[in-house]
Amino acid sequence: MNDNLKPNSTWMVMNDLGDAFNEINAFDFLLEELQEAVNVGDLQRITDTTAALNAFYVPFVDNWERKYRTAWDHVAAKFS
């Protein structure tokens, strides 16, 4: 592959950070599902969606925090 076409390390860490944030944005769908279930009083759907939100929150946020630290360390190293 041409070296000019290879992503540089800064692009890669920032892209990874963006990908991690997009995973957290998946919560938007689950929150909309939860609100719709609340609006129609569907208790089983409320329970299931709440369980999904609780199950996915910690891994998504942990992943984002790891990617953020990596990106921060990478960018900060360029200025120190």
Please provide the DSSP assignment of 30-76 as one string: HHHHHHHHHHHT-HHHHHHHHHHHHHHHHHHHHHHHHHHHHHHHHHH
- Identify the pLDDT of residue 3: 58
45 lies in a domain? yes
39 lies in a domain? yes
- Identify the pLDDT of residue 6: 66
Give residue 14's domain range.
9-78
Query: What's the pTM value of the predicted model, to 2 decimals?
Result: 0.66
Number of domains the chain contains: 1
4 lies in a domain? no
52 lies in a domain? yes
| pLDDT, mean of residues 52-79 | 91
61 lies in a domain? yes
Angle at 30 between CA 26 and CA 33, to 5 degrees: 145
3 lies in a domain? no
In tens, the pLDDT along 14-65 reads 999 999 888 888 888 999 999 999 999 999 999 999 999 999 899 989 999 9
1 lies in a domain? no
